Amino acid sequence: MSHSLPAPAAEALRSQTIEIPSWAFGNAGTRFKVFTLPGGPRDPYEKIADAAQVHRYTGIAPRVSLHIPWDRVEDYDDLARHAADLGVQIGAINSNLFQDDDYRLGSLTHADERIRAKAIAHHRECIDVMRATGSQDLKIWLPDGTNYPGQDSIRARQDRLADSLAQIYAALDADQRLILEYKFFEPYFYTMDIPDWGTSLLHCLALGERALVVLDTGHHAPNTNIEFIVAQLLRQGRLGAFDFNSRFYADDDLMVGAADPFQLFRIMHEIVQAGALSPDSGVSFMLDQCHNIEPKIQGQIRSVLNVQEATAKALLVDVEALGAAQRDGQVLEANEALMDAYHTDVRPMLADLRADQGLDPDPIAAFKASGYVDQVADARVGGAQAGWGA
Ligand code: LRH
Ligand code: MN
Ligand code: MN
């Protein structure tokens, strides 16, 4: 049986890229326990080396997002050179507004101007890191919010946030973007200052055209129709990036496509229909995950492959049949057109595609056989392993 993908699908898959986060390689866990594995990276250089393994075996993960201050180094030019030597680039720079005592009552929304100025200055540092590393995207996840009704004025916080964001946006270079994440709960539980895509979008619209929304798949209430949000943001040209991960209950940050591969397919269907897969679409496909119990590099490879498989299925949708059924009001035939694609086993096709590209058809087996895990376990002795947050 032929495993070949239709030529346009193969071409789209060859140009697809997925960005992976530096913090996926550090030790993570829950507030109950962090499990460590031998050979964990001890600094940003070693995190990038691990990330480069994911690209080496999948061929589609050429960028690594950094998080400041977790990935703070003396010389960012040197870090960018190190990445380039290993065949990858620095991707989005994530700021951090959630680990400083000053931010107990807020950061960019804080009532005290001095605290807001400190939070804004942190973003200036991030923009300098972007300049040194060639990064295009400043990614902001705002952890601000309140726990009790009446604790602060909801509206005044929005006004202060708008002002802070405007100052950050003004500090960007003309080719840099601000990408703004939302999350409906946690670390605060009564209000979050950017709880949803609508709030993020309103701030982006006020800022300018280089401000776009980040959709983290774990940041919604249960049963939210995420593909609807994707379609809506794409219509507005304001979907800047995904933070992909899976959730069963809260912000679980498990491997994308593990909890609900069908949801991932539905999201990628909206992307493909809108022509937003291509690298010049402005949509950055990133992972935001932690690997609490499983091996991390292998977990990242699995995650990248899960996105690739969902994308391949979305590219296999018979758009003629789907469009005809939709126009004719053929409800079940339209649904079948989607389900036929979803039920296709694309794994042999992707294995062939990889062989064509000079990659091993089975990235996980190839990575395991490489001996990298044992090699770093032997080499990385002394020093403290990096965690999710350091
Ligand atoms: C917290 C969070 C957020 C950020 C990441 C660094 O919810 O997961 O999604 O992107 O930490
Ligand atoms: Mn995220
Ligand atoms: Mn999150």
- For residue 96, give the ligand 1 atom closest to its CA: 6
pLDDT tens string 66-79: 999 999 999 999 99
pLDDT tens string 15-43: 999 999 999 999 998 889 999 999 999 99
Percent of the chain at pLDDT > 90 equals: 95
Write the residue with the smallest CA distance to atom 3 of ligand 1: 141
CA of 43 to the centre of ligand 3 (A): 22
Please answer whether residues 288 and 21 qualify as being in contact, where contact means their C-beta atoms are separated by less than 8 angstroms: yes
Q: Of the bound ligands, which one is closest to the alpha carbon of residue 215?
A: 2
CA of 380 to the centre of ligand 2 (A): 29
* Side-chain-facing half-sphere of 86: CA atoms under 13 Å: 25
Q: Of the bound ligands, which one is closest to the alpha carbon of residue 66?
A: 1
Q: ipTM score of the complex?
A: 0.96
Task: Give Cα separations from 130 to 60, 123, 171, 203, 265 (angstroms).
Answer: 22, 10, 12, 22, 32
| DSSP 8-state code for residue 101 | G
**Quick one: pLDDT at residue 390?**
64
Q: Of the bound ligands, which one is closest to the alpha carbon of residue 141?
A: 1
CA of 341 to the centre of ligand 3 (A): 30
Rounded-to-integer distance, Cα 268 and Cα 310, Å: 7
Structural domains in the chain, sorted by start: 16-315+346-379 (3.20.20.150)
Residue among 99, 192, 197, 251 to mutate when testing ligand 1 (max atoms within 8 A of CB): 251
User: H or E element: which one contains 20?
Assistant: strand 19-21
Write the residue with the smallest CA distance to atom 4 of ligand 1: 141
- For residue 183, give the ligand 1 atom closest to its CA: 7
Q: Of the bound ligands, which one is closest to the alpha carbon of residue 140?
A: 1
CA of 181 to the centre of ligand 3 (A): 9
- How many other CB atoms sit within 10 Å of the CB of residue 375? 11
The pair of structure tokens assigned to 137 is 């995207």
Rounded-to-integer distance, Cα 29 and Cα 78, Å: 30
Q: Of the bound ligands, which one is closest to the alpha carbon of residue 139?
A: 1
**Quick one: pLDDT at residue 69?**
97
223 CB-near residues (< 8 Å, 6+ apart):
none
CA of 343 to the centre of ligand 2 (A): 29
- For residue 139, give the ligand 1 atom closest to its CA: 10
Strand 191-192 to 211-216 pairing = unpaired
- How many other CB atoms sit within 10 Å of the CB of residue 195? 19
Residue among 287, 288, 289 to mutate when testing ligand 1 (max atoms within 8 A of CB): 288
Query: 388: pLDDT confidence band, cut at 50, 70 and 90?
Result: confident
CA of 383 to the centre of ligand 3 (A): 28
Please answer whether residues 22 and 71 qualify as being in contact, where contact means their C-beta atoms are separated by less than 8 angstroms: yes
Q: How far is CA 45 from the centre of its chain?
A: 20
Mean pLDDT on 304-319: 98
Alpha helices by DSSP H, listed for the chain, are 7-15, 44-58, 76-85, 113-133, 154-171, 197-207, 226-235, 261-273, 296-315, 319-327, 331-342, 347-356, 363-370, 372-379
**Quick one: pLDDT at residue 389?**
72
Please answer whether residues 29 and 35 qualify as being in contact, where contact means their C-beta atoms are separated by less than 8 angstroms: yes
Rounded-to-integer distance, Cα 4 and Cα 349, Å: 5
Q: Which residues pair with 387 in a beta bridge?
A: 27
CA of 141 to the centre of ligand 1 (A): 6
CA of 193 to the centre of ligand 3 (A): 15
- For residue 94, give the ligand 1 atom closest to its CA: 6
Rounded-to-integer distance, Cα 15 and Cα 62, Å: 11
Coil, helix or strand for 231?
Answer: helix
Query: 1: pLDDT confidence band, cut at 50, 70 and 90?
Result: very low
Ligand 1 pocket by Cβ (under 6 Å)? 67, 94, 141, 181, 183, 216, 243, 251, 253, 288
Write the residue with the smallest CA distance to atom 8 of ligand 1: 288
Q: What angle do CA 220, 103, 182 make, to 5 degrees?
A: 20
CA of 111 to the centre of ligand 1 (A): 24
The pair of structure tokens assigned to 335 is 């649904």
- For residue 218, give the ligand 1 atom closest to its CA: 9
- For residue 216, give the ligand 1 atom closest to its CA: 9
Q: Phi/psi of residue 74, each to 5°?
A: -65, -45
Q: What is the CA radius of gyration of the chain?
A: 21
Whole-number average pLDDT of the chain: 97
pLDDT tens string 202-228: 999 999 999 999 999 999 999 999 999
Mean pLDDT on 79-86: 98
